Amino acid sequence: MGKVFDPSLIIEFIPTLVKYLGVTLEILVASIILGTIIGIAAAIPKLFHIPILKQIVTLYISFIRGTPIIIQLFLVFYGLPAVLSLINIDITRMDALIFVIITYSLSNGAIFAEIFRGAISAVEFGQTEAAYSIGMTPFQNFTRIIFPQAIRVAFPNIANTVIGSLKDTSLAFTIGVMDMMGRGETIIAATAHALEVYIALSVIYYVVVLILEKGFKVFEKYTNRYQGTDASVA
Amino acid sequence: MVIDIPFIWVAFKEIAKAIPLTLVLAIVPVVIGFFIGLVVTFIREYKVKGIYSIANGYVSFFRGTPAIMHIMLVYFGIPMLLDSIINYFNLPYETNKIPIVLFVLFALSLTAGAYLSEIIRSGISSVAKGQMEAAYSIGMSTPQAMGRILLPQALAKSIPNFTNLSVGFLHTTSIAFLVSQKELTGTANIVASSNLKFLESFIAAGLIYWGISIIMEGIYYLVEKRVQQYSKGGVA
């Protein structure tokens, strides 16, 4: 702070920061894929009303939705080594990136579990009955009848979660990950041009979000292709 | 490293002192943001010339960048802007005397305004068009129809979204610790580093956030029940 604002530095910083976009996207993609797997696993006990597991999953979802991501980040960062040291596994030297990916996967998993459960319950039970009545197996029923209809309901929420998750990755630097934000902090420490760095970072995040939004819109249209014209409004 | 369970309670009591500041940071921006959101929504709905595209850009940008950027941009940008104005007019003010919490509140209000304008807009579009036509047909003016017919229904339908946003903003306040605010996360960080008990402090902070979130959801649930007792649609 205290230095004169220099707009030309914004353009100068963008290429340096974009090099670290890969780390940000790596966190995003890994946590979305792992989060989907956790989400499916967590949605099953709720959909099939499995006792005990259902209560555990409810507690897990409630905790993730009730605490900020930054607290979850710190809990995993300090908690996981403590828990694993009880069974004599030492991970104190593990890359901070792994902790970040674990946290964001757990966080996305809870949100996905709710989205999947909601979307599958949104498909009428009559659809399942109809599928069984023409002799489909439960697996065929799920893959051919329920899933294609559920994904249409779930997709806008999934898209929002992915975009929200991208924005959340900007907090990974608090436990020392060298992503775009982390690199930005080092530039600030070196040049003291904080405002220019944050403007450059905002521009990069904004562009990535706009590209994601455009892509999701195309896919959303695809999932709605049999819905007539007014489905895009709903 | 062994987890010191009794210390969680010690940390809990210490961190709980930060609840009032956290609630201020969570509630004030949502209230201010609500009014920003209303204004922006009307600019976008009525396509007011000139400022229409500014309103669109505002919503798009603030929804497209992380809240931490908004806090940082305001925290570093506004003092610079004010300083240059003060220097230009030779005013007897100093920007470094402005408390940081005001910058955080300002930044979060702008963030909340963008999100709330989208929520209000989707609430308005969910009210049937015939409602406005019916209001006009009995001779109501546009402000009357808006204030008495459209907005009450639109806002009632937006309550689940308001719940999510309010709880989301409670969680967003945790970012304020990065500009050295002593709210829940900031206090937890201080308690953690002064006692070197990181895990215990953040468990305590997590429990407090969780508790406040559940209470908030409960309050909104009661409001929703109260508001919707006249609108018995559907199958219920």
Asked if the structure places residue A63 within a domain, the reply is: yes
The predicted-structure confidence for B113-154, as pLDDT tens digits, reads as follows 999 999 998 888 888 788 888 999 999 998 888 888 888 888
Q: Under an 8 A CB cutoff, do A198 and B72 touch?
A: yes
B37 part of a folded domain: yes
- Asked if residue B2 belongs to a domain, the reply is no
Average the pLDDT over A91-100 and give the result.
84
For residue B231, pLDDT beyond 70: no
Q: For residue B169, what are the domain limits?
A: 20-180
In one letter, which amino acid is B22?
Answer: T
In a domain, A2, yes or no: no
Q: Confidence class of residue A94 from pLDDT cuts 50, 70 and 90?
A: confident
Chain B CB contacts of A85 below 8 Å: 1
Residue with tokens 């029923």: A141
A115 lies in which domain range? 7-226
Question: Mean of the pLDDT values across residues B92-120?
Answer: 89
Chain B residues in contact with A205 (beta carbon < 8 A): 64-66, 69
- Residue A232: band (very low, low, confident or very high) from pLDDT cuts 50, 70, 90: very low
Q: Annotate A60-90 with b (16+ C-beta within 10 A) or e (fewer).
A: bbebbbbbbbbbbbbbbbbbbbeeeeeeeee
Residue B202 lies in a domain: no
If one counts the domains in chain A, the total is 1
Check which CATH number belongs to the domain holding A29 and give it.
Answer: 1.10.3720.10
Residue A194 in any domain: the answer is: yes
CB contact under 8 A, A195 and B175: no
Q: How many structural domains are present in chain B?
A: 1
Given a cut of 60, is residue B236 above it in pLDDT? no
Q: Report the candidate in B48, B22, B58 with the shortest Cα–Cα distance to residue B177.
A: B22
Tell me, yes or no, whether A84 lies in a domain. Answer: yes
A-chain residue closest to B208, CA distance:
A67
Local confidence band at B32 (pLDDT 50, 70, 90 cut-offs): very high
In a domain, B64, yes or no: yes
**More confident of the two residues B160 and B95:** B160
Q: Output the pLDDT for position A3.
A: 60
Considering only the beta carbons, identify the residue of A68, A74, A209 that sits closest to B64.
A209
Instruction: Give residues 6 to 35 of B whose Cβ lies within 8 Å of A.
Output: none
Task: Say if A233 falls within a structural domain.
Answer: no
CATH of the domain at B100: 1.10.3720.10
- HEC per residue, chain B: CCCCHHHHHHHHHHHHCCHHHHHHHHHHHHHHHHHHHHHHHHHHHCCCCCHHHHHHHHHHHHHHCCHHHHHHHHHHHHHHHHHHHHHHHCCCCCHHHCCHHHHHHHHHHHHHHHHHHHHHHHHHHHCCHHHHHHHHHCCCCHHHHHHHHHHHHHHHHHHHHHHHHHHHHHHHHHHHHHHCCCCHHHHHHHHHHHHCCHHHHHHHHHHHHHHHHHHHHHHHHHHHHHHCCCCCCCCC
CB of A160 less than 8 A from some CB of B: no
- Is the pLDDT at A159 greater than 50, yes or no? yes
Please report the pLDDT score of residue B72 as a whole number: 92
Would A73 be classed as within a structural domain? yes
- Residue A6 tokens, joined: 């220099």
CA A14 to chain centre: 25
